[in-house]
Chains A and B, each alone.
Chain A
């Protein structure tokens, strides 16, 4: 379920958001959403790599992401990441 959040951005991040907003004629919310989504994807792939390398179990990754085992299986499958 989507959630709406308010946050305070670091000055450098805020300047980046303003620049992209002007460049792409986007809203600040859209730019921040994109940043958050990019960060999430990167974190997901990092956790997947740690699972793949035997540092974490599948369930540890699920726990870190707040997902059930079945939800994580689906997420990995959607992203083309092997179990």
Chain B
């Protein structure tokens, strides 16, 4: 199970490979759980603006394929630290959820600062390309499919992120 952040979820709900959303490939690989704040950011505020990705995420929430849960507050000292970082409520919700899960649960995010804070809280964090690599290694997708997934998301990620994972999948590095 992975906790997913909003921008990673949106990206996967926007792009397709072979007629399927990246999101459905991700759901084939593992369960996705999001805090209520991420559901609000992606579905509730996306639907009124007519974003198709909001509709797709909502469908998978309603079918139960994406689990939505409330994220409980952490200890006061740790909440104070999150406040000092300047994190917003959605950022904190992702962290709260991750820290209440077992140690092996990782967060999928493309947010560099959030990634750093999660790691400093001694929880796993991965960028979207890392998620694809990990689950390709576990057999959820073959290498050609994994490469297609990476290329599909490439336009939304900074230079180097997708290429790094692609080279590893190709066995070049």
Contacts and interface: CB of A to CB of B under 8 A. Distances in A.
Interface in A34-63: 51-60, 62-63
B49 A58 contact: no
Contacts of B10: 70, 73
Contacts of B89: 59
Contacts of A53: 112
A69 B91 contact: no
Contacts of B46: 70
Nearest to B162: A82
Given A54-B116, A58-B111, A70 B157 contact: no
Contacts of B90: 59, 69
Interface of B: 6-7, 10-11, 41-42, 45-46, 49, 51, 54, 86-91, 110-116, 155-159
Given A54-B112, A57-B86, A73-B7, 15 more contacts: A52-B158, A54-B113, A54-B115, A55-B113, A56-B86, A57-B88, A57-B91, A60-B91, A69-B41, A70-B6, A70-B46, A70-B54, A74-B51, A82-B158, A83-B7
